[in-house]
Amino acid sequence: VTKIEPRTLKGFQDLLPAQALRRADLIRRLEDVFRAHGYGPIDTPSLEYAEILKGKGGEESDKQLFEFDDAGGRRVALRFDLTVPLARFVAEHQNELVFPFRRYAIGHVWRGERPQKGRLREFVQCDADLVGAVGPAADAEVLVLMCAAYAALDVGRVTVRVNDRRILNGLLESLGGGVPVAAALRALDKRDRQGDDVVAAELGAAGLSAEGARTLLDVTRPRADDEECFAVLSAAVGASAVGRTGIAALRTVLSLVRAAGHAEGSVRCVVDPSIARGLDYYTGVVMEARLDAVPAVGSVGSGGRYDDLASLYTNTKLPGVGCSVGIDRLLVALAEPGAAAPAASRSPAEVLVVHPEEGALASAFALAGALRAAGLRVETFPEAKKHGAQMKYADRQGLRLALTRNADGTWHGKDLRDGTSAALGTEPDVVAWALARRG
Amino acid sequence: VTKIEPRTLKGFQDLLPAQALRRADLIRRLEDVFRAHGYGPIDTPSLEYAEILKGKGGEESDKQLFEFDDAGGRRVALRFDLTVPLARFVAEHQNELVFPFRRYAIGHVWRGERPQKGRLREFVQCDADLVGAVGPAADAEVLVLMCAAYAALDVGRVTVRVNDRRILNGLLESLGGGVPVAAALRALDKRDRQGDDVVAAELGAAGLSAEGARTLLDVTRPRADDEECFAVLSAAVGASAVGRTGIAALRTVLSLVRAAGHAEGSVRCVVDPSIARGLDYYTGVVMEARLDAVPAVGSVGSGGRYDDLASLYTNTKLPGVGCSVGIDRLLVALAEPGAAAPAASRSPAEVLVVHPEEGALASAFALAGALRAAGLRVETFPEAKKHGAQMKYADRQGLRLALTRNADGTWHGKDLRDGTSAALGTEPDVVAWALARRG
């Protein structure tokens, strides 16, 4: 018989047990943080009318759409993010929702990108948004959420860099030259890769004086101290009202993050006026997270404020602020040398109940049931393999404890981490021993 | 400006907060049960080469495929279940996996069915499979898992009906007439809808005597008592070896389920030789779950043993046993009158911290941080709306507690369930009060 070659599409991935367990664990921690901040889940279809998704008009994302005609002749496409579906959802259900509306969504998205390291054609996105609220409390809430998320993910030291779009607007206003913000953003975005000279030349071409370009590059440099940073920015925006508003807002937001207890610890939240990416679609606060151990992997999460979420679908004006945690990018980053990747486990179980002689199977099932009722995660070996083979399996799976039934109905426990053994009596003794060993 | 109409495709659904929270809660309970039994997650792509998914050759599922050419000219399709991808995954990664291999998978699947109540074109499937093990311990393990799953889901009384394909094989062998099993299954499957006479006529046309048909219909009737059922079946299979094996296996499996502590409680596990659906692709034990309160909704979960999972992709023989919990069908069933649907909540939060005058925002953020650190789920109202509007919001969202800051920096607590109030002092007092009220 001819076999079909088992393979996946380019840019699509299988997650093996250890990887999938790790991702599921990260997602669960994220969900707990989202819920602790009052964000509940919603779900929207993976497949939408293509016109809904193409409405944004982004040429790049349109080109990357997985788009086709369904069996009923409808033009449909797989979602490329969770924000456009949120906009459609909020417009469609605005009368059923309570505003301010907080939601999180965790789901797969699809982009026909050129596959490369860390870029997949299908990946999981984890978004949280607060829709229908403006002001510092709303902005700060999402920043607090992002700090709390990375702290809970326990992925080593993380720096969340914050900026406000209005500061750049103010700087350009104050520096004169009538440089369009979009052109300045395009230029500043090249800073990391191409250096200050290239950026200065490009800013000049856009209308900024040589001195203005130098000032802009200087004042938007990251600084170790937030207060110093604010002082430099305040001087540079001068009398620009929008610039001063942006600085004041950022200052308030940071003080609220500190008040919520997120100023220190494993997640550091700092002002960074050099953040350009993201400023083009955000209108106020903007944030970006990187792992301190592997900054070169780039952003593992971002967010910011937008003025009007659902303007393509409704006349209701819905301002909002949101963030997105890049789970798959995070997993790539954690696999890099130096990152804080914890030991991976192949199995969620802790305990193996060794398969006894056939007649005693009921006692093995009873013990497994009792151990689970006590909160332990337990496998019973499903076949009558040799004892050595079963212990080898427990070892390969990374299980901690193995329990073998003696002929007289008592049990023998083995701790596979330290190699110690224990002669155990009946079920309650075994449960107590397993709970104690688990620590 | 012309607006795009916000709408979803036929057969696709938005889940609003209360529904999505409910489904997420059910899924989390399921994951906990799967893990407690040693099943870990894997993930496979939503999109596969069409030839992988069409390999099964099922005409019905082929017709329902969402299939298209991707931008690279590859013929691709959205998965219609999680079993075919599991087969491909196991064949592709067999050298990286440890057998016996336990995995669960929770993910969306797509079927271009005619949309009708409880039938969606996109829905979530929750599967658990044990691959590479045969015998009663393996079969019983999956039945235990299914019983534990429905008990943990807390959806009212559930009956899990169990049968073994080999019993029907034995009955047909013993009754003579050379009736093909497939024909008998097709006939028996019509029993509920068309009645015994139609089935008997069809069995006669397939070669069974009138008396044989009567016997088959009689012995496969469900009975209140498992032992009575086994006695009737044993007499009917007579000397048929395969029939006797099936009965003995089913008896052992049920005794192990009882040993694991799943004989009573909200989930009842009973022998039912009338189960026909599913027997055509399963080869041994087969199971099906229904809610006692709304049996008419039909199966909310099923499973069974198969002989060779991945034969289309590999020569390695991989027998297995698995089950699938129909989460979306369950949600439909729970919405029926009489079902045990618990109260739905719009928000995961328990506590609202009322927005204070602007200057005191930091104290509100500090309190929210302290409450969350104590394990509470907390919203801060993001804008300076009127107090009454904020309390109305808390009420609509179903929050339990609201905390308002007094001008002197102390707090006022209100329990929105019973309407009681409390004058509270500083942060630690508030945290203690909220924890006590939450109960």
* pLDDT tens digits for range B120-170: 999 999 999 999 999 999 999 999 999 999 999 989 999 999 999 999 999
In terms of phi and psi (left: phi > 0; alpha: psi -120 to 50; beta: otherwise), the region of B367 is alpha
Match 């792509």 to its residue by tokens: B45
- Given this model, what pLDDT does residue A357 score? 84
pLDDT band at A158 (very low <50, low <70, confident <90, very high): very high
Angstrom distances, CA of residue A144 to CA of A309, B313, B354, B358: 21, 49, 17, 18
pLDDT at B335: 87
Amino acid sitting at position B246: G
Q: How many Cα atoms sit within 13 Å of B44 on the Cβ side?
A: 29
Residue with tokens 């309407």: B419
In Å, how far are B122, B174, B214, B217 from B211, measured between CA atoms?
45, 13, 5, 10
Q: Comparing A134-143, A228-237, B278-287, which segment has the lowest mean pLDDT?
A: B278-287
Quote the CA–CA distance of A306 and A181 in Å, as a whole number. Answer: 16
Residues of A in contact with B312 (CB under 8 A): 3-4
> Is pLDDT above 70 for B91?
yes
Q: What stretches of B337-426 adopt beta strand conformation (E)? A: 351-353, 378-380, 401-405, 411-415, 421-424
Q: What is the pLDDT of residue A159?
A: 95
Instruction: Please compute Rg for chain A using Cα positions.
Output: 27
Q: Which residues of A touch B122 (CB under 8 A)?
A: 45-47
Banded pLDDT at A118 (limits 50, 70, 90)? low
Of A123-137, B240-254, B331-345, which gets the smallest average pLDDT? Answer: B331-345
Chain B partners of A397 at a C-beta cutoff of 8 Å? 98
Q: What is the pLDDT of residue B339?
A: 84
> Given pLDDT bands bounded at 50, 70 and 90, which one contains residue A60?
confident
**pLDDT band (50, 70, 90) for residue B344:** confident
Which of these ranges, A164-173, B275-284, B426-435, has the smallest mean pLDDT?
B275-284
Confidence of residue B57 (pLDDT cuts 50, 70, 90): low
Spatial CB neighbours of A161, under 8 Å, sequence gap ≥ 6: A222, A270, A271, A272, A275, A287, A288, A289, A290
> What does the alpha-carbon distance between residue A180 and residue A185 come to, in Å, rounded to a whole number?
9
pLDDT for B209 = 93
Pairing of strands A411-415, A378-380: unpaired
The yes-or-no verdict on residue A79 having pLDDT over 90 is yes
With cut-offs at 50, 70 and 90, classify the pLDDT of residue A119.
Answer: confident
Is the distance from CB of A367 to CB of A419 less than 8 angstroms? no
Distances B365 to A111, B126, B353, B374, B406 between C-alpha atoms, Å: 38, 39, 9, 14, 15
CA B277-B279-B285 angle, 5° bins = 120
Cβ pair B336, B396 in contact under 8 A: no
Confidence of residue B397 (pLDDT cuts 50, 70, 90): very high
How near does any CA of chain A get to the CA of B55, in Å?
8
As a whole number, mean pLDDT of residues A109-138 equals 91
Of the partner residues B347, B380, B396, the one whose CB lies closest to the CB of residue A141? B380
Q: How much is the CA Rg of chain B, to the nearest whole Å?
A: 27
CB B253 within 8 A of CB B226: no
Q: Inter-chain contact B43–A14, Cβ cutoff 8 Å?
A: yes
Are A427 and A374 a contacting pair, CB within 8 Å?
no
| Residue A330: its H or E element | helix A327-334
pLDDT surpassing 80 at residue B208: yes
User: Of the candidates A20, A21, A49, which has its C-beta nearest B7's C-beta?
Assistant: A49
Closest CA to A380 of A406, A407, A404, A359: A404
pLDDT for B380 beyond 80? yes
Residue whose tokens read 């219909």 = B217
d(CA A424, CA A412): 6
More confident residue, B265 or B321: B321
Say what the ipTM of the complex is. 0.92
CB of A16 closer than 8 Å to CB of B42: yes
**What pLDDT score was predicted for residue A75?**
97
Q: Name the helix (H) or strand (E) containing B199.
A: helix B196-205
Residues A410-422: what's their mean pLDDT?
Answer: 96
- pLDDT classification of B290: cutoffs 50, 70, 90: very high
Is the pLDDT higher at B344 or at B437?
B437
Query: A57: pLDDT confidence band, cut at 50, 70 and 90?
Result: low
* Inter-chain CB proximity A108 and B39 less than 8 Å: no
Q: What is the C-alpha separation between A341 and B353, in angstroms, rounded?
A: 36
The shortest C-alpha distance from A269 to chain B (Å) reads 16
E strand residue ranges, A88-140 = 101-110, 122-131
Phi, psi at B42, each rounded to 5°: -130, 165
pLDDT tens across A290-339, in order?
999 998 888 999 999 998 889 999 999 999 999 999 998 899 888 888 88
Q: Is A77 exposed, middle or buried (0-12, 13-18, 19+ CB in 10 A)?
A: buried
Burial of residue B221 (CB within 10 Å: 0-12, 13-18, 19+) is: middle
Residue with tokens 């002749």: A73
As beta bridge partners, residue A107 has A125
- Coil vs helix vs strand at B80: coil
Q: A221 to each of A163, A217, A273, B332, how far by Cα in Å?
A: 12, 6, 7, 56
Work out the angle at residue B46's Cα, subtended by the Cα atoms of residues B42 and B47, and round it to the nearest 5 degrees: 130
Give the separation between CA A168 and CA A279, rounded to whole angstroms.
9
B17 closest CA partner among A97, A332, A188, A120: A97
Residues of B in contact with A40 (CB under 8 A): 17, 20-21, 346-348
The separation between the first and the last C-alpha atoms of chain B, rounded to the nearest angstrom, is 52
CA–CA separation, A126 vs A141, rounded Å?
17
Continuous segment of H or E residues that includes residue B301: strand B301-306
Distance in Å, alpha carbon of B280 to nearest chain A alpha carbon: 22
Average pLDDT value for chain B: 93
Q: Hey, what are A255's tokens?
A: 């003080």
d(CA B208, CA B179): 6
Q: Are strands A411-415 and A421-424 parallel, antiparallel or unpaired?
A: antiparallel
Nearest CA in chain A to B315: A3
A307 CB-contact burial (10 Å; exposed 0-12 / middle 13-18 / buried 19+): middle
Length of chain B, please?
A: 439
Query: What contacts A138, CB < 8 A, 6 or more positions away?
Result: A100, A130, A305, A321, B382, B383
**Window from A361-375, B105-119, B192-206, B346-360 with minimum mean pLDDT:** B105-119
Tokens standing for residue B198: 């139609």
Judge: A74–B134 Cβ closer than 8 Å, yes or no: no
Average pLDDT, whole number, for chain A? Answer: 93
Q: Residue A48: what pLDDT? A: 97
Shortest CA gap A109–chain B (Å): 10
Which H or E run includes B126?
strand B122-131
**Is A361 close to B133, i.e. CB distance below 8 A?**
no
Tell me the percentage of chain B whose pLDDT exceeds 90. 82
How many whole angstroms separate alpha carbon A66 and alpha carbon B70? Answer: 7
Contact A67, A49 (CB under 8 A): no
C-beta of residue B109 within 8 angstroms of C-beta of residue B123: yes
Token couple for B319: 């027998």
Is A285 a residue whose pLDDT tops 90? Answer: yes
Are B259 and A369 within 8 A, CB to CB?
yes
* Residues linked to residue B159 through DSSP beta bridges, in sequence order: B268, B290
Answer yes or no: do A313 and B44 touch at CB < 8 A.
no
Query: At residue A263, does pLDDT exceed 80?
Result: no
> What pLDDT score does B346 carry?
85
For residues B174-191, average pLDDT: 89
List the structure tokens of A162.
Answer: 């914050």
Q: Per-residue pLDDT for B15 more than 70?
A: yes
* Residues A244-258, mean pLDDT to the nearest whole number: 95
Q: Do B137 and A366 touch (CB under 8 A)?
A: no
Q: Which residues pair with A351 in a beta bridge?
A: A378, A401
pLDDT band at B193 (very low <50, low <70, confident <90, very high): confident
Asked if residue B409 lies in contact with residue B363, where contact means CB atoms within 8 angstroms, the answer is: yes
- In terms of Cα–Cα distance, which of A303, A434, A278 is closest to A367? A434
> Does residue B150 contact residue B158 with C-beta atoms inside 8 Å?
yes
**Residue B295: which residues within 8 A CB-CB, separation 6 or more?**
none
C-alpha closest to that of B64 among B136, B116, B122, B7: B122
Q: B38-50, pLDDT tens digit by residue?
A: 999 999 999 999 9
Look at residue A166 in the predicted model and tell me its pLDDT.
Answer: 95
Q: Taking Cα atoms as reference points, which of A320, A219, A333 lies closest to residue A272?
A: A219
In angstroms, what separates the C-alpha of A43 from chain B's closest C-alpha?
5
* Residue A209 Cα, gap to closest chain B Cα (Å): 38
Whether the bond between A337 and the residue before it is cis, its omega within 30 degrees of 0, is: no
Residue B74 pLDDT class (50, 70, 90 cuts): very high
Using alpha carbons, select from B246, B62, B79, B235 the residue that is nearest to residue B163.
B246
Instruction: Test A313 with B46 for CB contact under 8 angstroms.
Output: no
Helices B361-373, A136-153: axis angle to 10 degrees equals 30
Q: What integer is the mean pLDDT of B304-320?
A: 93
CA distance B128 to B303: 9
Of B9, B40, B76, the CB nearest to A20: B40
Residue A189 has pLDDT above 90, yes or no: no
Q: What is the residue whose two structure tokens read 């204070």?
A: B356
